[in-house]
Amino acid sequence: MDRRHEKLVRPGLGSPSAEWHFAELQGDLTAEGSTTAKLYDAPDDAPASAPELGETIVTVYDFLLNAGEQLDEGTVVRLDLHPGYARWYVTAAKGV
């Protein structure tokens, strides 16, 4: 099973609604801002081994922070793909 593209099923929708990834921010992310992030890849023996930082870089947008808050470069985040906008949004961050 290819775990790099897990599906998140939201109750009541009846089908997978969004793809998600773990990623590392490549720049600071401010409230209502955007930056880039490098996606983690699941190793071939997942879940036995920890995810490894891959080479894929995507643009990500804030959907987590309050006005005046910031996530620093290097922060590990969860990204959710909004199917209507086709944009990756930061919806959780490690240590926040």
**Which domain CATH number covers 79?**
2.40.50.140
Cross-strand pairs, 92: 78
Longest dimension (CA), the chain: 41
Q: What percent of the chain has pLDDT over 90?
A: 52
* pLDDT for 56: 87
- In the predicted model, what is the mean pLDDT of the chain? 80
Best CA proximity match to 75, nearest among 90, 87, 58? 90
pLDDT of residue 49: 67
Q: Which domain holds residue 82?
A: 3-93
pLDDT tier at 90 (50, 70, 90 boundaries)? very high
HEC secondary structure over the chain: CCHHHCEEECCCCCCEEEEEEEEEECCCEECCCEEEEEEEECCCCCCCCCCEEEEEEEEEEECCCCCCCEECCCCEEEEEEECCCCEEEEEEECCC
**Within 10 Å of residue 88's Cβ, how many Cβ atoms?**
25
Structure confidence by residue, pLDDT tens digits, 12-58:
333 334 488 899 999 999 999 999 999 988 666 666 666 778 888 99
Tell me: pLDDT of 73 over 80. Answer: yes
Q: What is the pTM (predicted TM-score) of this model? A: 0.74
Residue 83 pLDDT: 82
Domains of the chain: total: 1
